[in-house]
Amino acid sequence: MSNASRPTFLRSPRWLALAPLAFLLVMLVAPVLRLMGEALWGDKALAFGVASGSLGGSAWLQPWLDPYLRWRLLWSALQAALTCGVVLLLGVPVAWVLARYEFVGRRWVLRALMLPFVVPTLVAAMGVLALWGPQGLWVQAGGQSLQDTPFLLLYGNVFFNLCVLVRSATDALEQVSAARLAAARTLGATPWRAFWRIEWPAILPWLMSALCLVFLYCFAGFGLALVLGGQQYATVEVEIYTLVAYELQLGAAGVLALWTLAITGACALLYAVLERRLATPLRADRVPRRVPRGAGQWLAVAGALAVLVLFCLAPIAAIVLRAALAGAQSWAVLWEPETLQALGNTLRFSGAALLLATVLGLCHALAARHSAVLRALAFLPLVVSPVLVAFGLLLLYPGWTASVPLLIAAYALLAYPFVAKSVASGLDGLPANLGAAARSLGASPWRAFWRVTWPLLLPALRRGMAFAAATAVGEFAVTLFLSRPEWATLSTLIYQHLGRPGAAHLDAALVLACALMALALAAFLLIEWPGAGPANAKEPHA
């Protein structure tokens, strides 16, 4: 939409950034700076041989000089890079099948791709353990436990991120020009050559954008690495948590956090730049999907579905199966007063956070439409460790510790980037001529916005709200540090059962994990289902 045709509200929207930027400053930037200041210049700070306000230049390089910390940094980057490679090899063929073939159930397959996005991190980790852990279904079937191997963490990363690349690649393949592809085939190009000469160059920018996001999530991930990484394969985020929570080495944690922020911040900025360059209206000459014919094409469809089942559905099914086999006694935990109270807290905190996240995300998206820097700032809550945020909040606002406003604000901090990203994508895809048509028919700027722009933007807003709701429902890390015992949510209640000995508590945790997963999925579907189809949604999991 051109500047002349946009309403005044959209033509000069930079003032809308004041609210989200102030929120980021108060809830994210200031707490992180407070924690680093306490770590590096506090009276009790002692890190890398630097004490009581003296900070040598070599201290900033110490994580790369210390073999143990260097391994943590290198492993964090390596496991993120390996995940990118795996999801690229698996995701592109799956996306090509979904983009080019029409078969019964295809729409439901696209809907099912949203499942990993809405599954809470703690539930996903339990699903991986239920499948491949010491007491998992694989071991019960006679296989060897994969505990204390990098496979568990890599599999968990693929579970969350394969759908990110599949959805992005599917969207990209649907933007390939049918005329160019038909011309290549007319000139004698084989399907394989046509893919490499026409389709691959067209989708490569989209794939790079998705891979930036995958690397960002894997490098800065905390929950999966904490549960699945073990001592040997823990990432730098887990090391920061250990240094702060158990060893009180705030200086060391602060220096590691700075390196982590530098890497993830650069990745987020690159992603924002790529997303802005990909912002184009949908093509009119899409390649039409066709019904598979012959054994080879149907085998390709079956193979794509098998990959999605193995990596995206199996952990969820493992939790449900293990919980079903636990017996009626374990399911009685759902009616215990402690569970009902946790359910009420989850709904109350998530609902309030969703309202705040929606307002902040909408303002941020409208203000950041033509600014890659503002777009990148929306990802700050996703690239900063929630552990650092939580401890920073405790240090900066001790009077607000364990207060409902602070807890809700922390929830909204983690959820609103999804609203901002979805609305920004919706704004990028708006047709350029509709606003001008409304203005030519005599509509005022505000009327053109409410009657033309807003209805077109509403599906994207619903999608963003759906992901924000699922994120708030399953939030775990911040809740663990900022809530009171009587404010326990379903996620913290699951963690409490996991920390208690006995098979009964493990079965109860599995049942509660099913309940939490169902609640997150229900919140997502209630908001998103009336919106646009999933093929146009590109929101990732937090």
Determine, yes or no, domain membership for 384: yes
- At 32-86, the pLDDT tens digits run 888 777 656 654 444 444 433 444 445 667 778 788 888 899 999 999 999 999 9
pLDDT at position 447 is 67
Determine, yes or no, domain membership for 542: no
- At 133-163, the pLDDT tens digits run 887 888 888 888 788 889 999 999 999 899 8
pLDDT at position 53 is 40
Say which residue, 51 or 349, is predicted with more confidence: 349
Q: How far is CA 235 from CA 153, 255, 494, in A?
A: 10, 15, 23
- At 486-499, the pLDDT tens digits run 888 888 888 888 77
Determine, yes or no, domain membership for 8: no
CA distance from start to end of the chain = 30
* Contact status, residue 12 vs residue 224, Cβ threshold 8 Å: no
* Percent of the chain whose pLDDT exceeds 90: 18
Determine, yes or no, domain membership for 2: no
CATH value at residue 333: 1.10.3720.10
- At 220-271, the pLDDT tens digits run 887 788 888 888 888 888 888 787 777 777 677 777 877 887 887 788 777 7
Residue type, 6: R
Question: What pTM, to 2 d.p., does this model score?
Answer: 0.79
Determine, yes or no, domain membership for 26: yes
pLDDT at position 532 is 42
Lowest mean pLDDT among 113-127, 155-169, 354-368, 383-397: 383-397
Residue type, 147: Q
For residue 540, is pLDDT > 70?
Answer: no
Mean pLDDT of the chain: 80
pLDDT at position 448 is 65
Determine, yes or no, domain membership for 323: yes
CA distance 152 to 410: 29
Structural domain of residue 531, as residue ranges? 13-536
CA distance 191 to 441: 48
- What tokens were used for 506? 């493990």
pLDDT at position 43 is 43
Determine, yes or no, domain membership for 6: no
pLDDT at position 151 is 92
pLDDT at position 260 is 81
Determine, yes or no, domain membership for 4: no
3-class secondary structure, 290: strand
pLDDT at position 434 is 64
pLDDT at position 4 is 44
Say which residue, 432 or 383, is predicted with more confidence: 383
pLDDT at position 439 is 60
Which of 198-207, 234-243, 353-362, 492-501 has the largest mean confidence? 353-362
Structural domains counted in the chain: 1
3-state helix, strand, coil in the chain (%, to 5): 75, 0, 25
Lowest mean pLDDT among 415-419, 435-439, 532-536: 532-536
